[in-house]
């Protein structure tokens, strides 16, 4: 038992010496053992990123149909509400017109209201005569009361139908709206995939519009850099314009609260103005990390 313990101790000592011996030798040769590096200030590090439009919308039609009108071509600047594409809508416009006519026709309901009013008036007279001199029998009065109730029920039924007709008219109007595509914002048409006469398939991208006046710089940073940024903070950027590099200021609009598991990076988005000396969005850019202590 003593021999086994002795051998175990010898093996542990061997591994300890194997680990520390290179450091001891290094110190004996006149090179002192280096302490772990202390925190050093960060430089104004320029971290590579890429740019993109602040708003970039790819749109599709909710229904299929043949293209009737192409409202804007690629490269055109459009305002909010500008018609971009319209499908054949003649049949649907006829349905809307018919539904509007039915919904606005109040003749039957008007007649029912007049009838109800007359029946109520006659019922009041019958009740008065029956109460004074019994010139109207109880059976006649009850019959008139029943007729007045029927007239009221007819009026209520027609009001219900009229509400249904109004809703049907609204539904047909919404179906008509599905056949036209409008720009949701001011921007530039980057893609117009359809021509007049072609068939647009439902839920397939046909138009792309982007607002290029405001850009985003998208960065994926290591935690040691990302921790020095905060939402709303202002940072300096270096961007590639059409002619040269320019420096601008941007505002941090998004700092991901989570880190990507695979890469260990944190996503950061910086918004910047792109109205003067516009950057060709999609080009690379850089973000400057300010001097901080790690």
Residue spans of alpha helices (H) in 189-248? 223-226
| C-alpha distance from residue 276 to each of 155, 168, 241 (Å) | 66, 50, 10
Return phi, psi of residue 20, to 5°. Answer: -95, -15
d(CA 241, CA 221): 23
User: Is 19 a residue whose pLDDT tops 80?
Assistant: no
Put simply, whether the predicted model's pTM sits higher than 0.75 gets the answer: no
pLDDT tens for 271-292 read 999 988 788 898 889 988 876 5
| Rg, the chain, Cα only | 40
**Which CATH homologous superfamily contains domain 45-55+212-289?**
Efflux pump adaptor protein, beta barrel domain (2.40.30.170)
pLDDT tens for 133-171 read 888 888 888 898 999 999 999 999 999 999 999 999 999
**What's the average model confidence in pLDDT over 208-235?**
92
* Spatial CA neighbour of 272 closest among 199, 211, 226: 211
pLDDT tens for 225-237 read 888 899 999 999 9
- Helix/strand/coil percent split, the chain, to 5: 40, 35, 30
- Proportion of the chain above pLDDT 70, given as a percent: 83
**What's the average model confidence in pLDDT over 8-28?**
39
């Amino acid at each position: 038992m003593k021999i086994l313990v002795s051998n175990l101790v010898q093996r542990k000592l061997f591994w300890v010496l194997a680990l520390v011996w290179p450091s001891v030798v290094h110190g004996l040769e006149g090179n002192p053992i280096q302490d772990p590096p202390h925190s050093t200030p960060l430089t104004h590090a320029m971290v590579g990123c890429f740019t993109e439009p602040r708003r970039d919308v790819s749109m599709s039609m909710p229904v299929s149909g043949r293209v009737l009108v192409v409202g804007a071509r690629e490269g055109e600047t459009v305002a909010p509400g500008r018609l971009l594409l319209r499908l054949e809508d003649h049949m649907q416009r006829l349905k809307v017109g018919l539904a509007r006519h039915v919904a606005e026709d109040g003749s039957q309901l008007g007649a029912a209201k007049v009838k109800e009013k007359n029946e109520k008036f006659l019922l009041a007279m019958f009740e008065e005569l029956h109460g004074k001199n019994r010139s109207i029998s109880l059976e006649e009065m009850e019959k008139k009361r029943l007729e007045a109730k029927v007239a009221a029920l007819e009026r209520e039924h027609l009001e219900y139908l009229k509400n249904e007709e109004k809703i049907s008219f609204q539904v047909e109007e919404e179906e008509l709206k599905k056949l036209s595509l409008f720009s949701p914002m001011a921007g530039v048409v980057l893609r117009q995939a359809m021509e007049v006469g072609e068939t647009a398939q439902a839920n397939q991208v046909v138009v792309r519009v982007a607002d290029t006046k405001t850009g985003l710089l998208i960065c994926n940073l290591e935690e040691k850099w990302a921790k020095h940024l905060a939402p709303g903070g202002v940072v300096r950027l270096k961007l590639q314009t059409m002619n040269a590099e320019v420096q601008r200021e941007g505002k941090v609009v998004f700092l991901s609260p989570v880190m990507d598991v695979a890469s260990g990076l944190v996503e950061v988005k910086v918004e910047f103005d792109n109205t003067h000396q516009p950057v060709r969005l999609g080009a690379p850019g850089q973000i400057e990390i300010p001097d901080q202590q790690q």
